[in-house]
Every structure is written in structure tokens, then in C-alpha cells.
Amino acid sequence: MHGLKFAFANEQAFRQEIYLLTVAVPIGILIAPSFAWYVAMIGVLLLVLAIELLNTGLEKLCDHVMVDRHPQIGIVKDCGSAGVMFSLMLAGVVWLAALFVRFVG
């Protein structure tokens, strides 16, 4: 719980993703073609939050280990951010696929 409280208080991206999840839970019920789709749609957003928390932890560890700017630490932080980006892309694909199946297919 301390990690969730810290991330919500200090990480803007995490707050935005929490707000997105808050909106997505009720909207997903309307969009999801089935219960399984709904689970996948919400599950992928929870995955985004999990990866965001891991990225935040990684960044805080890097800041603790190396206070000064260091190129190798920059690479570590960039890789963590790329992981978040790919999880967001996966969430977008799942939600778009659900929309397609619900309204087109």
C-alpha cells in the first residue's frame, strides 16, 4: 500500500492511469462484447499500472544509486519508460479490438 500511496502522490503518469481506469471500468461494461473481453480490457489496464509501478521503483532505485546524471542510468530509465509505452500500446490494441468486435464485427 505504501508504494501505491507514494506513486499516486508523486507520479503524474500513475495518477492519469488511475483516472483512466476509473473511467474505463464503467465504460468497459458498455463496450465489451462479452465478459471475457471485459476482463481482458480491464486486465490490460491493471497491467499498465503494474508496469508503471515497476518503472517508478526502478527510477527511484537509479536515483538512489547514482545521484549525478550518468549515461548508463539514463539507458536503464529509458528502458523502463519504453516498457510502459509498450504496455500502453497493448492496452490500446485490446480496447480497439473490443470496439471493433462490438460495433463492426
> Please, which residues have CB within 8 angstroms of residue 83's CB and are 6 or more apart in sequence?
51, 54, 55
Read off the amino acid at residue 88: L
Which set of grid coordinates corresponds to residue 67? 545521484
For the question of residue 17 being annotated catalytic, the response is no
Distance in angstroms (rounded) separating the CA atoms of residues 71 and 82: 16
* Active-site residue, from 11, 17, 52, 59: 52
Distance in angstroms (rounded) separating the CA atoms of residues 37 and 44: 11
Active site (catalytic) residues: 52
